[in-house]
């Protein structure tokens, strides 16, 4: 269908579009794709010819419905493969991304359907990100940042903002993993660091930097 590279561009533009409402400019695409603005302009023209995005010179781009659909399919594949790697092959959550970057480009609708079924139709990947459904619908939850939680509030760790290995490994080390019950027991005014209680027993200290990157589900 579409090339490895085309899929990566569409996915990158889709993700930029998620946070930014207006048209996505050339430089920001170049930044996330680790390439030059000139290369981005070249690729944008090709994707525009294929009606995957709308492009006006110097005005940035916006995905068409077709482009968005393709991007979401790639995200779905990526997150299903991450789930497979973590749940079945016992990869740690900081190890799955790079391999899933390759696996997401395997072409076979049947494969993805069967993988989805084999995994038990998971709704979220190992980082807590929602897995788009087969029809393209993404069920998003209303998460709140751990750093925004008030005193005595309880919640369940449900996702991360920062996806870097460094951060994920840190969370792994201090055992702040997906699904754990957390209660804020102290907010330090000086540095905004938190004292939190984990699953009723353990009590630990975390920096605001860490808390700002953890997504919580609260009642």
Which parts of this chain interact with its own copies (CB under 8 A)?
85, 88-91, 95, 98-99, 102-103, 106-108, 110-111, 114-115, 118
- Cα 18 to Cα 62: distance, rounded to the nearest angstrom: 11
Cα separations in angstroms, 22 against 34, 36, 48, 186, 192: 22, 21, 17, 39, 33
Q: For residue 119, give every residue at least 6 positions away whose Cβ sits within 8 Å of its Cβ, in sequence order, or none.
A: 80, 83, 84, 87, 88
Decide whether 95 or 125 has the Cβ nearer to its own copies. Answer: 95
- Cα 175 to Cα 150: distance, rounded to the nearest angstrom: 22
- Quick check: 46 and 55 in contact, CB under 8 A? no
- Quick check: 63 and 52 in contact, CB under 8 A? yes
Minimum CB distance to DNA, residue 50 (Å): 10
Name the token pair of 166: 């460094």
Q: Sign (positive/negative) of CA torsion 196, 198, 201, 203?
A: negative
144 binding partner (options its own copies, DNA, none; Cβ < 5 to 8 Å by kind): none
Minimum CB distance to its own copies, residue 71 (Å): 20
102 binding partner (options its own copies, DNA, none; Cβ < 5 to 8 Å by kind): its own copies
37 binding partner (options DNA, its own copies, none; Cβ < 5 to 8 Å by kind): DNA
Minimum CB distance to DNA, residue 155 (Å): 38
**Residue 20 makes contact with DNA by CB under 7 A:** no
103 binding partner (options DNA, its own copies, none; Cβ < 5 to 8 Å by kind): its own copies
111 binding partner (options its own copies, DNA, none; Cβ < 5 to 8 Å by kind): its own copies
12 binding partner (options its own copies, DNA, none; Cβ < 5 to 8 Å by kind): none
Helix (H, G, I), strand (E, B) or coil at 67: helix
**Residue 12 makes contact with DNA by CB under 7 A:** no
Contact flags string 26-65 toward DNA, x per CB under 7 A:
xxx----x-xxxxxxxxxxxx--------x-xxxx-----
Q: Out of 15, 25, 167, 208, point to the residue binding DNA (CB under 7 A).
A: 25
Q: Sign (positive/negative) of CA torsion 105, 107, 108, 111?
A: negative
Q: Rule CB under 7 A: which residues touch DNA?
A: 3-6, 25-28, 33, 35-46, 55, 57-60
């Amino acid at each position: 269908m579409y090339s490895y590279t085309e899929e990566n561009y569409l996915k990158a533009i889709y993700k930029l579009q998620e946070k930014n409402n207006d048209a996505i400019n050339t430089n920001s695409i170049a930044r996330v794709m680790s390439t030059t603005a000139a290369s981005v302009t070249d690729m944008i023209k090709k994707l525009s010819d294929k009606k995957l995005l709308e492009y006006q010179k110097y005005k940035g781009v916006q995905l068409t419905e077709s482009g968005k659909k393709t991007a979401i399919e790639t995200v779905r594949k990526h997150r299903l493969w991450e789930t497979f790697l973590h749940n079945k092959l016992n990869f740690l959550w900081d190890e799955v991304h790079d391999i899933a970057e390759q696996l997401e480009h395997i072409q076979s609708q049947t494969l993805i359907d069967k993988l989805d079924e084999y995994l038990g139709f998971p709704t979220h990947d190992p980082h807590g990100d929602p897995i788009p459904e087969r029809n393209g619908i993404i069920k998003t939850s209303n998460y709140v940042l751990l750093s925004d939680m008030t005193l005595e509030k309880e919640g369940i760790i449900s996702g991360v903002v920062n996806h870097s290995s460094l951060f994920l490994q840190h969370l792994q080390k201090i055992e702040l993993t997906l699904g754990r019950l957390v209660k804020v027991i102290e907010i330090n005014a000086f540095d905004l660091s938190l004292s939190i209680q984990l699953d009723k027993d353990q009590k630990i200290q975390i920096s605001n930097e860490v808390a700002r990157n953890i997504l919580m589900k609260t009642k």
